[in-house]
């Protein structure tokens, strides 16, 4: 006969209500961990989307994801001509605000060369950019449909393909256009300003062929580390392997997010502990007479402790499962990508169990102090 369950059944309403509240809390914790995972995947997504092995960037910088990195576009030929290079492509990154169906959206516009490293790797719908102008491949999260047009800067682009789950680390959906279009978008001035520039520079139209990085794919058997070291010997260039690049991102974006989310998660778990503790405590106080009676009849302490700890655990487990179900169901409606990993859920589950044990301490202490003789008092 499980006294813990019987007592829960007796107070089912209050118990379930508490579980509901707790499940929301634990759901939020899971969601935050999920958002954190999503953040990592998202921010690495853009870096991984390039399919690079080595990133050639401006000398003395750590690349466009950490700081400003600019290098002349014609460096691409020089890099591509290096021994061991399978392919190289110039890429540019810029944030653009665009008005779409009356809503202003921030987009991460990636300029990449057609059929060269850096262009959208996996187009899930439609096709890659094939024409050198005014075509775009957009991420689904941008809310653009195939064939739809969107105005970026002064130009109208047609969406020819869609990617999935590709956003910048700030959450902005990624839009791929050709490098030429991207450079125009970045450097093209209004006609009046352009005329002034031409006059100032003495007739030569200023070069706009600037890229933020050159994405390099190597031939089989070439060690990216060695290759990167060789590049660094060149003047004005630096190089990062894909691993370096991901590490740079981890340090900048992810560590901050980890600290923030870690803090909130810890706070929420503390709140959960307090709630479980209080409810278990009041449930114990309500059972004072029953516990005294049990002791009087002759129930050993481990029975009494078991009664309380089991209730705390039941509360934690039910709330956790309900919270997990809630978040899995509501995952799609979150403004950010929520990635629920089984191992995260498992470790949160473990933490919840520990929290329950801690929370039941107060109730257990109270229960153990109850005097069996108090059952006799009318």
Partner 1 sequence: MTTQPVVEIRGISKHFGEGLARVDALRDVSLDVFPGTVIGLRGPSGSGKSTLLNVIGCILEPNSGSMRLSGELVYDGKWLRPDLRSLRLEKIGFIFQSHNLLPFLNAWENVAVARTLAGANLAQAKERALELLTYLGVERRQDAMPGELSGGEAQRVAIARALANDPRIILADEPTAALDSQRAGKVMDLLRKVAAERDAAVIVVTHDEKIFDRFDQIHSLRDGVIEGTAENRRP
Residues in the site for partner 1, rule: CB under 8 A? Answer: 1, 3, 6-7, 9-11, 289-290, 293-300, 303, 372-373, 375-376, 378
Q: How far is residue 95's CA from residue 79's CA, in Å, rounded to a whole number?
A: 27
Measured from the CB atom, is 72 or 306 closer to partner 1?
Answer: 306
Measured from the CB atom, is 6 or 133 closer to partner 1?
Answer: 6
Q: How far is residue 43's CA from residue 39's CA, in Å, rounded to a whole number?
A: 6
Rounded to a whole number of angstroms, the minimum distance from the CB of residue 305 to partner 1 is 14
Measured from the CB atom, is 262 or 300 closer to partner 1?
Answer: 300
Rounded to a whole number of angstroms, the minimum distance from the CB of residue 18 to partner 1 is 17
Describe the crossing of helices 255-286 and 288-297 by its angle, rounded to 10 degrees: 70
Measured from the CB atom, is 7 or 244 closer to partner 1?
Answer: 7
CA 259 to chain centre: 13
Rounded to a whole number of angstroms, the minimum distance from the CB of residue 292 to partner 1 is 8
Whether the CB-CB separation of 213 and 70 falls below 8 Å is answered with no
Q: What is the CA radius of gyration of the chain?
A: 30
Bridge partner residues of 218 (DSSP): 85
Q: How far is residue 24's CA from residue 251's CA, in Å, rounded to a whole number?
A: 31
Rounded to a whole number of angstroms, the minimum distance from the CB of residue 357 to partner 1 is 23
Q: Which residues contact 119 (CB under 8 A, 6 or more apart)?
A: 89, 112, 113, 128, 129, 137, 176
Measured from the CB atom, is 109 or 280 closer to partner 1?
Answer: 280
Rounded to a whole number of angstroms, the minimum distance from the CB of residue 7 to partner 1 is 4
């Amino acid at each position: 006969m499980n006294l813990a369950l019987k007592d829960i059944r007796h107070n089912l309403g209050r118990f379930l209500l508490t579980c509901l509240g707790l499940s929301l809390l634990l759901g939020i914790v899971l969601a935050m961990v999920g958002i954190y995972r999503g953040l990592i995947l998202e921010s690495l997504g853009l870096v991984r989307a390039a399919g690079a092995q080595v990133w050639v960037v401006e000398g003395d910088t750590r690349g466009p994801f950490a700081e400003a990195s600019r290098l002349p576009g014609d460096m691409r030929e020089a890099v591509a001509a290096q021994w061991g290079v399978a392919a190289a492509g110039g890429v540019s990154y810029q944030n653009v605000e665009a008005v779409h169906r009356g809503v202003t959206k921030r987009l991460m516009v990636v300029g990449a060369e057609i059929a060269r490293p850096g262009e959208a790797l996996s187009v899930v719908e439609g096709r890659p950019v094939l024409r050198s102008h005014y075509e775009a491949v957009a991420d689904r999260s941008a809310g653009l449909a195939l064939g739809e047009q969107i105005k970026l800067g002064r130009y109208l682009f047609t969406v020819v393909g869609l990617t999935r789950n590709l956003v910048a680390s700030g959450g902005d959906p990624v839009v791929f256009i050709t490098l030429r279009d991207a450079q125009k978008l970045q450097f093209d001035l209004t006609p009046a300003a352009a005329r002034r520039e031409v006059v100032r520079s003495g007739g030569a139209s200023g070069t706009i062929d600037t890229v933020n990085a050159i994405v390099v794919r190597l031939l089989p058997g070439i060690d990216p580390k060695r290759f990167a070291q060789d590049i660094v010997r060149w003047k004005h260039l630096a190089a990062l392997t894909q691993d370096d690049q991901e590490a740079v991102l981890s340090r900048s974006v992810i560590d901050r997010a980890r600290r923030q989310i870690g803090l909130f998660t810890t706070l929420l778990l503390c709140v959960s502990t307090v709630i479980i503790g209080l409810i278990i405590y009041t449930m114990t106080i309500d059972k004072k007479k029953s516990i005294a009676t049990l002791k009087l009849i002759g129930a050993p302490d481990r029975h009494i402790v078991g009664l309380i700890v089991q209730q705390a655990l039941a509360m934690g487990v039910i709330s956790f499962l309900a919270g997990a179900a809630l978040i899995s169901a509501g995952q799609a409606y979150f403004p950010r990508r929520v990635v629920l990993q089984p191992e995260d859920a498992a470790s949160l589950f473990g933490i919840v169990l520990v929290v329950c044990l801690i929370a039941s301490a107060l109730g257990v202490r109270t229960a153990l102090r109850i005097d069996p003789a108090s059952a006799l008092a009318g």
